[in-house]
Chains A and B, each alone.
Chain A
Amino acid sequence: MTKKQKKTLRRILLAVVLSLCVFLAATFLELPWFLQLALWLVPYLVIGHDVLKKAVLGIKNGEVFDENFLMAIATVGAMACGEYGEGVAVMLFYQVGELFQSYAVGKSRRSIAALMDIRPDSANLENSDGNLSAVDPEEVAVGSVIVVRPGEKVPIDGRVLSGESSLNTAALTGESRPRTVRPGEEVISGCVNGDGLLRIETTKPYGESTVAKILELVENSSLKKAKVENFITKFARYYTPAVCFAALALAVLPPLVLGGGWVTWLLRALTFLVISCPCAVVIAIPLTFFGGIGGASRCGILVKGGNYLEALAHTGVAVFDKTGTLTKGVFAVTRLSPAPGVSEDDLLHTAALAESYSSHPISKSLREAAPDASGEVCDVQEIAGHGVKALVNGRTVLAGNAKLMEQSGVEFTPEEGAGTVVYVARDGEFLGAVLISDEEKPTARKAIAALKAQGVRTVMLTGDAPAVAEKVAEGLGLDEVHAGLLPADKVQWVETLLNSKPAGKNLTFVGDGINDAPVLMRADVGIAMGALGSDAAIEAADVVLMDDDPAKLVTAMGIARKCMAIAYENIVFALVVKALFLLLGALGIANMWWAVFADVGVMVLAVLNATRMLQVKE
């Protein structure tokens, strides 16, 4: 609890004790009314003096019709009607409600801060004499050497000079599998160092490091408000004066029409005022969105504002980039088709050895697939556009495309597949074919299936060749695919899709952030993934997925929908209960006590409902 909250708590306890004393005194002693009023005024002022002061100040500043005004007029009115106990009780419960609200909000604020507890406290700067000194990360110049001990957070982006360790990126990506780093590799700030000592040369100042960027993004996110949030503040602006006039009408009209009963109707009008207090909705809605954004960031999904969370909940079309988004963007050997009588190992090793001097990405993936291939390789000849010819262990090996086989008169079995096929022949005899392709991400298929199950139209836009793209799309089960596109064509396609999407639905574009900035901006919701370290993507996107997992889109949509559901639940619940009690109050069925419980109770329930948003299942 903060100092302010503790002070309020003390005042509440004191007022409760004083009220009990006064209550007992009033019950057992026959006191004249003015003495009763004087005694009740003591606890009343203890608990309500600040509300009264704010109400008066509000009126003076032309800010009538706020909570303080409602409470002041209701309690003063009750006291004036001779209902001293009720007047004090209303003020007391109002303060209890305020205290609870402030405590709950403070708690969720802290738990979200804890979620994003990635801010480094200090950096261990290595001085020229080799000694370490702990300094503020902001003071570390680019190119300095810092040391990160086991268990510490990496404070600034940089490159490992020496040391080897595994980094825990869970706070950034929600991914619990540690990432191993070795000298020469880039490290990003915000990761927690495992059990190795790392010496890092910084490549960015703190302010441009990943951790600072993310913190700023999360802090700013609550400043971009959802439509529902804005609706509520607008609503409160008209609602409060409306109920005040309704209360006034309730106090004046019935006695005039029916004749007499002024005190009864005045009390009903005051009850009406207490019930009408809009604080439940006004606090619960921003709290829901704040919790939603916080819960999402725990899963490695950074949402730049409540408005995007709202848009994400109504996704109707999901457009994906291919390479790096649905596929890994790394070439790997995916299939070996040896000729009859040839072993898979023989095929792969021969191909890897023949390609061992080439720098082509295809050759690299062959070597990676057969790291233990060994043999004597000489006379390597690269035949541009065809492949390689080399002497492997004294025998002539050809590795390349179908043209190379045809040219050399080798009889081969054509191979089909989404990717690049490498045919291998030794001494004119066909050994088989190796398929090298970009692998789909393990979760891509599941993500597409989940989206389709929710009625979302899935589209893939890619610059890749149509044949390859269609194979991938078919494998993943996408609804549509448009291939062979230049970046400008992608924008064109997004425009077309935007025009044809169903009304009230949004178009979400998911890309890996490379060359995607225009499309990310054009889409209703632009999502960049694998954005660790990619500044342009963090800038352009509305939602940033910290790891490479396309299934996080489904998670994000789930969080967004839960958030909207809670927001609407709270609005409807609060307004229905209020309307009901307003009616009961006007009819004189609900008295002041009911009114206080209706007001504080609704607020407590709405706040508790909103805090559900903090518990996000991964």
Chain B
Amino acid sequence: MQKKFSIEVDCANCAAKIENAVKQLPGVKNVSVSFMAQKMLLEAEDAQFSAVLKEAVKTAKKIEPDFEIEL
């Protein structure tokens, strides 16, 4: 399953770092964070999607405390 989220991220470098870090997470098939569009695209297996998403948000917040996501 692939899903797109509206996010709030303040700097381009953080967006890139979040993308790299989330990509490393187990269960993540693909992820793309666009600083310009303020969007995140996450792809994972349907069954574990919500768990993966939770982990992704946790990782993102760790990198950028100001990271916000519309779920």
Q: Taking beta carbons and an 8 Å cutoff, which residues of A are in contact with B?
A: 4, 54, 57, 61, 63, 66-67, 98, 102, 105, 108-109, 219-220, 222-225, 232-233, 236-237, 278-279, 282-283, 286-287, 289-290
**B36 and A105: CB pair below 8 A?**
yes
> Which residues of B in the span 7-38 have a Cβ within 8 Å of any Cβ on A?
10-14, 16-17, 19-20, 32, 34-38
Report A3 CB to chain B, min CB distance, Å.
12
**A220 and B4: CB pair below 8 A?**
yes
CA distance A355 to B29 in the complex (A): 62
Instruction: Name the CB-closest residue of A to B34.
Output: A222
CA distance A109 to B37 in the complex (A): 7
Question: For residue B14, which residues in chain A have a CB less than 8 angstroms away from its CB?
Answer: 66
The main secondary structure of chain B at its interface with chain A is: mixed
Question: For residue B41, which residues in chain A have a CB less than 8 angstroms away from its CB?
Answer: 220, 223
**B65 and A223: CB pair below 8 A?**
no
Question: For residue A4, which residues in chain B have a CB less than 8 angstroms away from its CB?
Answer: 10
> Which residues of B in the span 40-71 have a Cβ within 8 Å of any Cβ on A?
41, 62-63, 65
Question: For residue A63, which residues in chain B have a CB less than 8 angstroms away from its CB?
Answer: 17, 62-63
Report B41 CB to chain A, min CB distance, Å.
5
Question: For residue A54, which residues in chain B have a CB less than 8 angstroms away from its CB?
Answer: 65
The main secondary structure of chain A at its interface with chain B is: helix
Report B66 CB to chain A, min CB distance, Å.
9
Instruction: Name the CB-closest residue of A to B16.
Output: A233
Known: A63-B63, A237-B20. A219 touches B13 (CB 8 A): no
CA distance A54 to B64 in the complex (A): 8
Instruction: Name the CB-closest residue of B to A108.
Output: B36
Cβ-defined partner of A223 (8 Å) among B10, B13, B34, B62: B34
**B37 and A66: CB pair below 8 A?**
no
CA distance A286 to B15 in the complex (A): 11
**B62 and A219: CB pair below 8 A?**
no
Known: A66-B13, A66-B17, A279-B11. A287 touches B63 (CB 8 A): no
Interface size on B, residues (CB 8 A): 21
What are 5 A-B interface contacts by the 8 Å CB criterion?
A: A61-B63, A222-B37, A236-B16, A282-B13, A283-B11
**B13 and A278: CB pair below 8 A?**
yes
CA distance A224 to B20 in the complex (A): 15
A-B residue pairs, 10 tightest by C-beta? A233-B16, A290-B36, A223-B32, A222-B34, A222-B37, A283-B12, A282-B13, A61-B62, A282-B12, A223-B41
Instruction: Name the CB-closest residue of B to A294.
Output: B36
Question: For residue A289, which residues in chain B have a CB less than 8 angstroms away from its CB?
Answer: 36
**B32 and A225: CB pair below 8 A?**
yes
**B37 and A290: CB pair below 8 A?**
yes
Question: For residue B20, which residues in chain A have a CB less than 8 angstroms away from its CB?
Answer: 233, 237
Question: For residue B62, which residues in chain A have a CB less than 8 angstroms away from its CB?
Answer: 61, 63
CA distance A162 to B16 in the complex (A): 52
**B35 and A286: CB pair below 8 A?**
yes
Known: A67-B11, A225-B32, A279-B11. A219 touches B16 (CB 8 A): no
Instruction: Name the CB-closest residue of A to B31.
Output: A223
Question: For residue B19, which residues in chain A have a CB less than 8 angstroms away from its CB?
Answer: 233
Known: A57-B65, A220-B41, A233-B16. A286 touches B10 (CB 8 A): no
Report B5 CB to chain A, min CB distance, Å.
11
Question: For residue A66, which residues in chain B have a CB less than 8 angstroms away from its CB?
Answer: 13-14, 17
Further contacts, 18 of them, CB under 8 A, given A220-B39, A233-B19: A57-B65, A108-B36, A219-B4, A219-B39, A223-B32, A223-B34, A223-B39, A232-B16, A233-B13, A236-B13, A236-B16, A278-B13, A282-B11, A283-B13, A283-B35, A289-B36, A290-B36, A290-B37
* B11, B36, B37, B41: residue with the most chain A Cβ atoms closer than 10 Å: B36
**B10 and A102: CB pair below 8 A?**
yes
Question: For residue B10, which residues in chain A have a CB less than 8 angstroms away from its CB?
Answer: 4, 102
Report B13 CB to chain A, min CB distance, Å.
5
Instruction: Name the CB-closest residue of B to A60.
Output: B62
**B11 and A287: CB pair below 8 A?**
no
Question: For residue A282, which residues in chain B have a CB less than 8 angstroms away from its CB?
Answer: 11-13, 16
**B36 and A287: CB pair below 8 A?**
yes
CA distance A222 to B63 in the complex (A): 21
Cβ-defined partner of B32 (8 Å) among A102, A224, A279: A224
Question: For residue B39, which residues in chain A have a CB less than 8 angstroms away from its CB?
Answer: 219-220, 222-223
CA distance A102 to B12 in the complex (A): 10
CA distance A134 to B14 in the complex (A): 41
CA distance A67 to B4 in the complex (A): 28
CA distance A219 to B11 in the complex (A): 19
CA distance A236 to B14 in the complex (A): 11
Question: For residue A236, which residues in chain B have a CB less than 8 angstroms away from its CB?
Answer: 13, 16
* B17, B32, B37: residue with the most chain A Cβ atoms closer than 10 Å: B37
CA distance A57 to B32 in the complex (A): 24
Instruction: Name the CB-closest residue of A to B14.
Output: A66
* B10, B11, B41, B65: residue with the most chain A Cβ atoms closer than 10 Å: B11
Question: For residue A224, which residues in chain B have a CB less than 8 angstroms away from its CB?
Answer: 32
Report B29 CB to chain A, min CB distance, Å.
14
Report B48 CB to chain A, min CB distance, Å.
21
CA distance A220 to B41 in the complex (A): 9
Question: For residue B38, which residues in chain A have a CB less than 8 angstroms away from its CB?
Answer: 109
CA distance A287 to B34 in the complex (A): 10
